[in-house]
Amino acid sequence: MEGYDTNLMNSLYGFPAFAKKYGEYYEASLRYEIPAKWQTSINMAINVGTLLGLSVSGWLIGRWGNRKVMLAALVVLVGFIFVLYFAVSIQMLLVSMILLGFPLGTFQAISTALAVEFCPMVLRVYLTSWINVCWTIGQLILSGVLRGFVNGDSELCFKVPFAIQWVWPVPIFVAVLFCPESPWWLVKNGRLEEAEKSLLRLISIEESHKRHLADAMVKKIQMTLKEEEAGANDTYADCFRSPNSRRTRISACTWMFQNLSGSALIGYSSYFYIQAGLSTDNAYTFSIIQYILGILGTLTSWVVSQRYGRFQIYSYGLVSLFLLLMTIGGIACSSNENAPWAIGSLLLVYTYCYNTSIGPLTYTIVAEIPSTVLRVKTIIIARNTYNIAGIFTSLINPYMLNPSAWNWGAKLGFFWGGFALLAFTWSYFDLPETKDRTFYEIDYLFNNNVPARKFKSCQIDAPAAQQYLEDPPTKLNT
């Protein structure tokens, strides 16, 4: 749903019927274009709305729980889509994007936190990275819908894609009604019986052992929360106090660099392909292929994650993105008539590499790094950092791509390639390895200020780890 909704406007900028309705005619390109200033404003609007939605959702989730907040956000989303559908001017489109950002921000906060709280350690990477698959599926559906209408010239060609947004909330609302609340949230709020019932629904073992295991898990959650609450309160300020400040920084940078390593080109892909020299038909066909490769990339990451750690996949993925972006920029300097096809093909490879590495692994890392007590708030801060980076990309990408502005075209590969190199440098010095670590082991390592590159090799024996829950240790074997 979010992958469809957030990328809809970016994908429509290259849509002839949409540009004719809301844009201006440019003699230089001999076609209608949405002015760069309005592309920037609309793209920033949804990021601003998401920032506000995320900020409010932290308080709402803490008070009412994930389930109730999710249901309310879905109802609000249905209402706000009406504003977008009946927009008669580009100014109304701008307002609708701000409004849609509110519920979308709420979904961003809930999905990542629940993914890690609902599943055991061995499944964390699969469920958290599945969020990336959901994004890509939404983008694929969007590309398929737009490809079917690309040659039309009536308003229905973009009104139908607007209306399809009403399809998602209904089945999701019904599904959420049958979902259990997070047992971590229930224990934290003193609702132990409900937490046990929630765990009974989530556990898939023989019925005779279910209740015993659920009771043990409730006690384990209580112990983890007890230890964490002894060293921190549940406020945003505590996210910036030691040792949580380091965890907040890592979460924020991980998500920020996901947005600053050229991934914005994926959302702008159809418009990017057109500006690179492909026809409108071929541009939207390439977009469909691109998102199929994105899904395959995430599935590949599941296989790779069984052998390699979070740090290895994330950091070496950034190296591959850097090389691809610099190559795209270099080809853009060529006058060869086949250059647009080469650029389009490389962006397909970029999409696959991105979705094999930093695309899905970001969700896993951001979900694992925060402390349990401050997880939702840390995720909100990290996602807001991502959205602030999104405002920057929304500000600069239209000017770099639009022929009525800077008209860089595919040369912007040099620009984002530089950020990918910066991201790799940061990850090497600051991003720890959390693969195969339990939450209390991660707490143990952070509270003892273990350097990022020693997280993987640090040995924590079972008695020390269990003792840590009651009495934090003062000495660590590295």
pLDDT in tens, 34-92: 887 888 888 889 888 998 998 888 889 888 999 999 999 999 999 999 999 999 999 99
Element (H, E) at 311: helix 310-332
Average pLDDT, the chain: 85
Greatest mean pLDDT range, 44-58, 316-330, 364-378, 433-447: 316-330
Burial class (CB in 10 A: 0-12, 13-18, 19+), 256: buried
pLDDT (mean) for 24-38: 80
* Lowest mean pLDDT segment, chosen from 12-26, 87-101, 269-283: 269-283
Q: 180: which DSSP letter?
A: P
**Cα 82 to Cα 77: distance, rounded to the nearest angstrom:** 9
Q: What is the pLDDT of residue 468?
A: 45
Residue 25's DSSP bridge partners are 32
Percent of the chain at pLDDT exceeding 70 = 93
pLDDT of residue 232: 54
pLDDT at 233: 63
Distances (CA, A) of 269 to 281, 306, 375: 13, 31, 33
Q: Are 15 and 157 in contact (CB under 8 A)?
A: yes
Q: What's the whole-number mean pLDDT along residues 117-136?
A: 84
Model confidence at 230, pLDDT cuts 50, 70, 90, reads low
- Domain residue ranges of the chain, discontinuous segments joined by +: 2-179+232-454
Nearest Cα residue to 369 out of 217, 244, 210, 222 = 244
pLDDT at 55: 86
Range ranked top by mean pLDDT from 110-119, 282-291, 430-439? 430-439
123 confidence band (pLDDT: 50, 70, 90) = confident
Question: What percent of the chain clears pLDDT 90, i.e. is strictly above it?
Answer: 37
Question: pLDDT tens across 319-364, in order?
Answer: 999 999 999 999 988 888 888 888 888 989 999 999 999 999 999 9
Q: Which of 112, 118, 121, 126 is nearest to 441 (CA)?
A: 121
Confidence class of residue 154 from pLDDT cuts 50, 70 and 90? confident
Tell me what pLDDT residue 34 has: 86
* pLDDT at residue 318 greater than cutoff 50: yes
Per-residue pLDDT band at 229 (split at 50, 70, 90): low
For 179, half-sphere exposure in the C-beta direction (CA atoms, 13 angstrom radius) is 20
pLDDT band per the 50, 70, 90 thresholds, residue 473: very low
The C-alpha atoms of residue 451 and residue 427 are separated, in whole angstroms, by 12
Q: Does domain 2-179+232-454 correspond to CATH entry 1.20.1300.10?
A: no
Choose from 104-118, 320-334, 449-463 the range with maximum mean pLDDT. Answer: 320-334
User: By the 8 A CB rule, do 152 and 17 touch?
Assistant: yes
pLDDT at 359: 93
Confidence of residue 476 (pLDDT cuts 50, 70, 90): very low
Contact call for residues 345 and 412 (beta carbons, < 8 A)? no
β-strand 24-26 against 31-33: which pairing, if any?
A: antiparallel
pLDDT beyond 80 at 138: yes
Residues 102, 62, 220: CA angle, nearest 5 degrees:
135
Rg (CA), the chain: 23
pLDDT above 70: residue 417: yes
221: region left, alpha or beta (phi > 0 left; psi from -120 to 50 alpha): alpha
- Look at residue 472 in the predicted model and tell me its pLDDT: 42
pLDDT at 462: 54
Give the pLDDT of residue 478.
40
- Number of C-beta neighbours around residue 67 at 10 A: 18
Residue 73: partners with Cβ closer than 8 Å, 6 or more residues away? 53, 57, 102, 103, 106, 107
For residue 181, give the nearest of 162, 153, 200, 167 by alpha carbon.
200
Band of residue 228 on the pLDDT scale cut at 50, 70, 90 = low
